Structure 1
């Protein structure tokens, strides 16, 4: 029987890992095949880990009203472009990409930093002259000059100094509207594969040429994968019952709970990476970019689903994802590879092969630290001790008043726009 690429990668990672992250889950009687009558009660023993990690996830969430402000900014940018370029408004479509579209946007542990919102400006090439890539890219920049647009490799940075966010704005055209001759020249390097209908051509300014991109495809892949059930139904029932007893306040739409384990893993692992950089465990200039974390975790989750794996509790799945993370990176012909699942030929780890191994070492150091920190958390059994350790690991302030829960936080004050890769 043939297996999928994701399943093959999971099998490879399981063969090459030295040991499991934790065996604590194996200790619970009746949690494997054939549940005992009191298995719901047994599953609730996970609750102290689940609550602490879920509260950490809620803490790092960007509020829905802040996302709404960014959405309003998209519309202003679209209107600005239409007015300054004399383009018909219906020729311009602006949509989010990256962390916002996958619901994995997080706050920085550095309290005053802005968060970045990635957006893509999709232009109907049949209505607008956009055949010359650099001419197209520069025309967008000229139209955005009043918004203090700053050119980057494939996007324009819009700082929005009076807001808590800034935009990374990528001009693009639908890939299927690129002239055939140009498309054929691109194909040997970058060709659309999965979710090909949403593929775009963006301008790569160093090469002054088009490059295939598919942010909507990545977002759809994460969404489709996250919906695949890996948690046994009995565990979901137990978790829901425990949540009801806890009387937790409703969360905003942008927020996901630990039962959406893929997205929670992406969020928590990104936060842990940021904390490692803040604590100078890894260098901030070489820390793994978010698209790599998203790709590896989603591939692993998809591989588990393709192999028919199941897990008794979201915490067990979270630990399994962390367990395999460092073993999912391929090295072929001496080169590191993390393939874009929607664009054949694009390697998200391309820069890892041009820096004497610095980025890979940062990735490995971060993975080792993540594993050690999760081992410490999962070895604890006292609820107060678990909550305290989770706060320490993920950089969350201790409660200011009574109670053991993790606190909510006030939105950070805006400050100067930090440098970003555009792949957050």
Structure 2
């Protein structure tokens, strides 16, 4: 039977990987440290979870933005919908290692008559004018709303249904195959044209892959691995270690942020979150397609770290990381026009990740392992995020919390 695309990518990545982490995992198992390692990584995962009250507050803020736009624009409320996108919607949002604000990405989706889609820049500017009292900042595809006294800001992306774009314009836009039902059109301000986007398709893809269980059994106590929570409309950001794909995305993003903070990776060229998320999900999908199963979440995390740097494709000499929800879109497009600075930063970060993960796995005592994990992910002393609270048994990690449902609105949340 022929291998799938991502199975082939994983097969090629496996030939290029080093065996450092495989050996380190065997050392951890021989030292009887697997449960302790899982417990410490789970504590980091909880520690970097953005507190539920902040997520609730941000969700309420973008609901109020939607209500403001309905009032200002006088468009029918039933034609307007606001949807979270990005890390919030995929449950991979992580707290920064500093007091910097986190961003909430939202799509402002307007389903009006097709004539409204003839002037993308007029549509974009009209929404910006309605946000004038909030001093929204114009970005390439969104309006950024700052909240001076809040821990977050909101990137608000105006969009219309892809079908609303005139046929002659749509013919020149990128196509969507597998996830066509959720595709939308957003304004690309540098070109003044519509651009195909599919944030809900990305959510569906990641959720579908995360639900594929390649972890055969949970060998840890219930206080280490919680039962997996159902995905909600405004998703809880609490994710158990058994949901290993999402945990990998969260831990690796935090490690990347620490590498930047320690000046080991130049912030301007760090791998952006959509690249980290896409490569890890492609890798996970490829492992699942190959029928590769794991007996322990730490082993799966180690494999993802080892395979990650080798998952980048080369097409006609160019770096390529395909958007699985929009045909022909390359998330690594900027890598091909910067003298390899972004790719070099990616490889440097991957090497640091592999090195640090090996150090964790090579720990020979619980105390050494705990110290190594905390130091690696910035969970000690001044490097611990001020958003977290103390819980017994872990110096600065936040206890898992339950997210309250967002108040019902007129279809805006």
Normalised by the length of structure 1, the TM-score is 0.86
Q: In the TM superposition, what is the alpha-carbon distance from 1:167 to its structure 2 partner? A: 0.2
Match of 2:215, SS state, is coil
Matched, 1:200 2:184: yes
For 1:93 and 1:135, how far apart are their aligned partners in 2? 19
Q: In the TM superposition, what is the alpha-carbon distance from 1:20 to its structure 2 partner? A: 4.6
> 1:405 maps to what in 2?
394
Q: In the TM superposition, what is the alpha-carbon distance from 1:132 to its structure 2 partner? A: 1.0
Farther-moved stretch of structure 1 (10-19 vs 309-318): 10-19
Q: Equivalent of 2:100, from 106, 113, 116?
A: 113
> 1:69 maps to what in 2?
57
Matched, 1:243 2:230: no
For 1:138 and 1:310, how far apart are their aligned partners in 2? 50
Q: In the TM superposition, what is the alpha-carbon distance from 1:45 to its structure 2 partner? A: 4.2
- After superposition, residues 22-421 of structure 1 pair within 5 angstroms as 22-26=22-26, 45-110=33-98, 112-126=99-113, 129-186=116-173, 190-233=174-217, 236=218, 238-241=219-222, 243=224, 253-398=236-381, 404-408=393-397
Q: How far does the alpha carbon of each residue in 1:26-62 deviate from its partner, in whole angstroms, 9 at most, with x for none?
A: 4689xxxxxxxxxxxx997411110111101110110
For 2:367 and 2:392, how far apart are their aligned partners in 1? 10
CA contact 1:70–1:165 (8 Å) conserved in 2: yes
Number of corresponding residues: 385
For 1:141 and 1:27, how far apart are their aligned partners in 2? 57
CA contact 2:49–2:398 (8 Å) conserved in 1: no
CA contact 1:335–1:353 (8 Å) conserved in 2: yes
For 1:68 and 1:130, how far apart are their aligned partners in 2? 33
CA contact 2:270–2:346 (8 Å) conserved in 1: yes
Q: In the TM superposition, what is the alpha-carbon distance from 1:24 to its structure 2 partner? A: 3.8
CA contact 2:14–2:307 (8 Å) conserved in 1: yes
1:375–1:97 CA distance, 2 compared to 1 (3 A)? same
Q: In the TM superposition, what is the alpha-carbon distance from 1:75 to its structure 2 partner? A: 1.4
> 1:6 maps to what in 2?
6
Q: In the TM superposition, what is the alpha-carbon distance from 1:16 to its structure 2 partner? A: 2.2
CA contact 1:8–1:303 (8 Å) conserved in 2: yes
For 2:370 and 2:168, how far apart are their aligned partners in 1? 59
For 1:27 and 1:169, how far apart are their aligned partners in 2? 47
Superposed CA RMSD in Å reads 2.3
Q: In the TM superposition, what is the alpha-carbon distance from 1:404 to its structure 2 partner? A: 5.0
Normalised by the length of structure 2, the TM-score is 0.88
For 1:217 and 1:320, how far apart are their aligned partners in 2? 26
Runs of 4+ in 1 over 6 A off after TM superposition: 399-403
> 1:37 maps to what in 2?
none
1:406–1:296 CA distance, 2 compared to 1 (3 A)? farther
Q: In the TM superposition, what is the alpha-carbon distance from 1:161 to its structure 2 partner? A: 1.5
Match of 2:354, SS state, is helix
Q: In the TM superposition, what is the alpha-carbon distance from 1:403 to its structure 2 partner? A: 6.7
Q: In the TM superposition, what is the alpha-carbon distance from 1:127 to its structure 2 partner? A: 8.0
> 1:38 maps to what in 2?
none
For 1:123 and 1:384, how far apart are their aligned partners in 2? 54
Match of 1:173, SS state, is strand
Q: In the TM superposition, what is the alpha-carbon distance from 1:174 to its structure 2 partner? A: 1.4
1:323–1:195 CA distance, 2 compared to 1 (3 A)? same
For 1:401 and 1:239, how far apart are their aligned partners in 2? 23
CA contact 1:270–1:293 (8 Å) conserved in 2: yes
Match of 2:172, SS state, is helix
Match of 1:104, SS state, is coil
Q: How far does the alpha carbon of each residue in 1:268-321 deviate from its partner, in whole angstroms, 9 at most, with x for none?
A: 100000000000001111100000000000000011111111001000000000
CA contact 2:25–2:361 (8 Å) conserved in 1: no
1:70–1:128 CA distance, 2 compared to 1 (3 A)? farther
CA contact 2:390–2:396 (8 Å) conserved in 1: no
CA contact 2:28–2:363 (8 Å) conserved in 1: no
